[in-house]
Amino acid sequence: MCIRDRSMMHFSQLINDPKGIFKKFDYGHKNQQVYGSPTPPIYDLSAIKTKVYMLVGTQDRIADATDASRLRDELPNHEYKEIHHGHVSMIFAASTDVTDYVLEILGRDTKLMN
């Protein structure tokens, strides 16, 4: 299985998980061999020390504000901003709201520029 296919399968596993748990790829019966456990480990998002900038579209039906809020609550170092846009607007920066925010971050946080 190529990396692209496994990434798509992992994405499918994550969105279809009834408990919404953010965990590593599920190899099924090979989990014990790969992870030393019958189930894949959960990602420890509290271990991420790098600042994460979250720009959340309130009209996004793919990565909705509920999911983003949950992620925000698990990240120890983040900046969170909501804008009134959907997923495609975010990807293609269809509005100046997106580019303005990114440029603001780059201008404000000089560590990102070095």
pLDDT digits (tens, 9 = 90+) for 58-87: 888 888 888 889 899 999 999 999 888 887
> How far apart are the two ends of the chain, measured CA to CA in Å?
38
Question: What is the DSSP-derived secondary structure letter of residue 69?
Answer: H
pLDDT value for 34: 97
Confidence (pLDDT) at 112? 59
Interatomic CA distance for residues 4 and 7, integer angstroms: 5
- Whether residue 69 contacts residue 54, with contact meaning beta carbons closer than 8 Å, is answered with no
Q: What is the reported pLDDT for 103?
A: 85
Query: Using alpha carbons only, what angle is made at residue 17 by residues 13 and 18, rounded to the nearest 5 degrees?
Result: 160
